């Protein structure tokens, strides 16, 4: 079996980073056909296509994304060698993580903890809307998406939803608002309430709970962002209905307090991946050791 021709890999690497065959050819002072031949030879050697053309634009295939990761390591190491004339470290692996912009930062940290601080691992973290993040999975620019909203299944998508955690939802606020002598109904009736927006499953459960208790809460704010809910409850505009993990540090410091009353609601957190022939090997460190559902508070 012949070895990999690194000249072929180098031309692929240049085109992948430019995102445009014509621009790369002009920059390297070569014809487009010459660069195309080099990439075609690489594909023949790998036995996989590294690019696909969509709407007259080049897009990396799954094999192309993996090849680019390795090429970044290979040519990055060569640049380090020229710059330092000594070995400065081992090859690094990259994991691209997308998270719903409204998601708890504490949950994200807990999920990624098995990889945090590892010298050979680089984490690329991006936030966005559900649509943006799922498109990132489809185009192979993301390896995993963290969300509390599962994507709607259909025949055209190949998403895999991994249940990561089911967090209990509590009533949380400044200690002076949390009177241990009061029932849940009394707390909800006596304080303005910060709640998730109507799109949240937690909100639907909370509204049903209030109806059951015969309470008509005064809503201080309807928020779709856990980070904003955290800030609002810290500002003491009312009691918040959210998972304790979202305000873990404030609860530990005593700045906020969790009501003893059992709310009976929970919020589910998921990691979404796409079916791939070559999944990122770093994902195994995040999924294998953990149970299907576990509390992280």
Whole-number Cα distances in Å, 226 to 10, 195, 223: 44, 10, 8
Return d(Cα 134, Cα 206) in angstroms, integer. Answer: 28
Residue 155 predicted with pLDDT over 70: no
pLDDT band (50, 70, 90) for residue 175: very high
End-to-end CA distance of the chain: 53
Q: Please say whether the beta carbons of 206 and 217 come within 8 A.
A: no
User: Please, what is the average pLDDT of the chain?
Assistant: 86
Q: What is the DSSP letter of 193?
A: E
Whole-number Cα distances in Å, 76 to 70, 85, 186: 10, 13, 62
More confident residue, 158 or 122: 122
3-state secondary structure of 45: helix
Residue 76 predicted with pLDDT over 90: no
- Say which CATH topology domain 93-164+269-287 has: D-Maltodextrin-Binding Protein; domain 2 (3.40.190)
Considering the four listed CATH numbers 3.50.50.60, 3.30.1490.20, 3.30.590.20, 3.40.190.10, the one that applies to the domain covering 166-267 is 3.40.190.10
Element (H, E) at 94: strand 93-100
Average pLDDT rounded to a whole number, residues 189-210: 91
pLDDT band (50, 70, 90) for residue 154: low
Whole-number Cα distances in Å, 168 to 85, 177, 183, 243, 295: 54, 20, 18, 6, 8
> Around Cβ 118, how many Cβ atoms within 10 Å?
13
Alpha helix segments (H runs only) across 170-282: 184-190, 201-213, 226-234, 248-253
Instruction: Tell me what pLDDT residue 86 has.
Output: 47
3-state secondary structure of 109: helix
Whole-number Cα distances in Å, 36 to 59, 81, 123, 146, 213: 14, 29, 32, 37, 69
pLDDT band (50, 70, 90) for residue 157: low
Give the tokens for residue 136.
Answer: 């990132």
Residue 9 predicted with pLDDT over 70: yes
Helix axes 32-46, 6-18, angle to 10 degrees: 120
Domains 6-84 and 166-267 share a fold: no
Q: Please say whether the beta carbons of 90 and 121 come within 8 A.
A: no
Which range (42-51, 100-109, 205-214, 232-241) has the least confidence? 100-109
Considering the four listed CATH numbers 3.30.450.20, 3.20.20.80, 1.10.10.10, 1.10.3720.10, the one that applies to the domain covering 6-84 is 1.10.10.10
Going from N- to C-terminal start, the domains of the chain cover 6-84, 93-164+269-287, 166-267
Residue 254 predicted with pLDDT over 90: yes
Residues 91-144 have pLDDT tens digits of 568 899 999 988 888 889 999 999 998 888 889 999 988 889 998 888 888 999
Average pLDDT rounded to a whole number, residues 219-230: 91
Q: State percent of the chain over pLDDT 90.
A: 52
């Amino acid at each position: 079996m012949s070895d990999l021709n690194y000249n072929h890999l180098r031309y692929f690497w240049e085109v992948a980073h430019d995102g445009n065959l014509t621009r790369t050819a002009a920059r390297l002072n070569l014809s487009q056909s010459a660069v195309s031949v080099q990439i075609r030879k690489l594909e023949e050697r790998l036995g996989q296509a590294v690019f696909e053309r969509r709407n007259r634009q080049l897009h990396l295939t799954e094999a192309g994304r993996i090849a680019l990761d390795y090429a970044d390591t290979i040519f990055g190491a060569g640049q380090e060698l020229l710059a330092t004339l000594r070995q400065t470290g081992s090859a690094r692996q990259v994991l691209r993580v997308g998270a719903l912009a409204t998601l708890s930062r504490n949950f994200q940290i807990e999920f990624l903890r098995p990889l945090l601080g590892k010298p050979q691992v680089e984490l690329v973290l991006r936030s966005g809307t559900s649509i943006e993040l799922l498109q990132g999975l489809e185009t192979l620019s993301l390896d995993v998406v963290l969300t509390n909203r599962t994507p709607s299944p259909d025949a055209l998508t190949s998403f895999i939803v991994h249940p990561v955690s089911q967090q209990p939802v509590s009533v949380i606020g400044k200690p002076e608002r949390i009177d241990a002598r009061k029932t849940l109904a009394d707390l909800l009736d006596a304080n303005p309430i910060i709640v998730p927006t109507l799109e949240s499953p937690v909100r639907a459960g909370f509204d049903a709970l209030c109806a059951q208790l015969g309470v008509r809460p005064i809503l201080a704010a309807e928020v779709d962002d856990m980070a904003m809910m955290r800030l609002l409850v810290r500002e003491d505009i009312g009691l918040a209905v959210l998972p304790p993990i979202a305000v873990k540090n404030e609860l530990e410091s005593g700045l906020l307090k969790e009501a003893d009353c059992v709310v009976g609601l929970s919020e589910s957190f998921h990691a979404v991946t796409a079916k791939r022939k070559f999944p990122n090997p770093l994902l195994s460190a995040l999924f294998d050791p953990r149970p299907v559902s576990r509390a992280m508070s």
